[in-house]
Amino acid sequence: MCLDNLKELYQRYHDLKAPPYLSDLKMDLYAHFYQTNQKYFGSKKITLWRLDNEEHCFTKYFEYIDIFCVNQMVEALKIALDRLVKPHPDHMKTVITGVIVANGKVPLEVIKAVKKFSYKKVFKLYLFGWAEIRLVLIDLSSRQVICNASGREVQNFFEGLFNR
């Protein structure tokens, strides 16, 4: 099944956790990635700079998909961004990745909505970093990965599902 393959892919770079409650849409998988980069001077007590990057991946499987399902997912991802992103001076970027796995035929309006979707939030004029939402649609019937503009950066990662 695709969700098992996704779990395997996520485990390479992410920590798998129980999905947090965001909305009435219950997520099937939740993976979290955290990275911090620092530059020291002399010893670790004197930090010149530090940058924190984070990714929260939410996956939902739909047997049949329509525009209502996409809108539900988008609303849940916006709630996740508001609840999970904690801006601070060392925060650089947090990405909320929403992965929709569709088993049935995907309507053209859904594909257009996914490609068109964009959402970014800036904190204190970028001084406290930013957050954005990636939207990825995995179409099992046509073996395609459809992404919004910011999701293209991870498209190859998800296309790895079909190479198994």
- Residue-wise pLDDT for 130-163, tens only, equals 999 999 999 999 999 999 999 999 999 999 888 7
Give domain status of residue 81, yes or no. yes
Domain that holds residue 122: 51-142
- Collapsing DSSP to helix, strand or coil, 31 comes out as strand
Residues of the chain with pLDDT > 70, as a percent, come to 99
* pLDDT tens for each residue of 107-116: 999 999 999 9
Res 95: pLDDT: 97
| pLDDT higher than threshold 60 for residue 1 | no
Give domain status of residue 76, yes or no. yes
| pLDDT higher than threshold 90 for residue 42 | no
Give domain status of residue 83, yes or no. yes
Backbone angles phi, psi at 141, to 5 degrees: -70, -40
| pLDDT higher than threshold 70 for residue 10 | yes
Give domain status of residue 7, yes or no. no
| pLDDT higher than threshold 90 for residue 39 | no
Tell me 5's DSSP state: H
Count up the domains in the chain and report the number.
1
The CA-atom distances, in angstroms, between 9 and each of 6, 52, 156 are: 5, 23, 12
CA distance 102 to 60: 9
Res 47: pLDDT: 80
CA distance 121 to 133: 9
Give domain status of residue 28, yes or no. no
Q: What share of the chain is helix, strand, coil (3-state, %, to 5)?
A: 35, 40, 25
Q: Are the C-beta atoms of residues 56 and 80 closer than 8 Å to each other? A: yes
- 60: which residues sit within 8 A by CB, 6+ positions away? 25, 27, 28, 73, 98, 99, 100, 101
Res 122: pLDDT: 97
Give domain status of residue 70, yes or no. yes
Res 164: pLDDT: 62
Please state, as a whole number, how many other Cβ atoms lie within 10 Å of the Cβ of residue 148.
20
Give domain status of residue 78, yes or no. yes
Res 13: pLDDT: 87
The mean pLDDT value for 92-107 works out to 95
Q: Are the C-beta atoms of residues 89 and 128 closer than 8 Å to each other? A: yes
Which residue type occupies 57? C
Predicted TM-score of the model (pTM): 0.91
The mean pLDDT value for 62-79 works out to 95
Kind of pairing between the strands at 29-41 and 43-62: antiparallel
Res 160: pLDDT: 84
Strand partners, 58: 30, 98
Give domain status of residue 151, yes or no. no
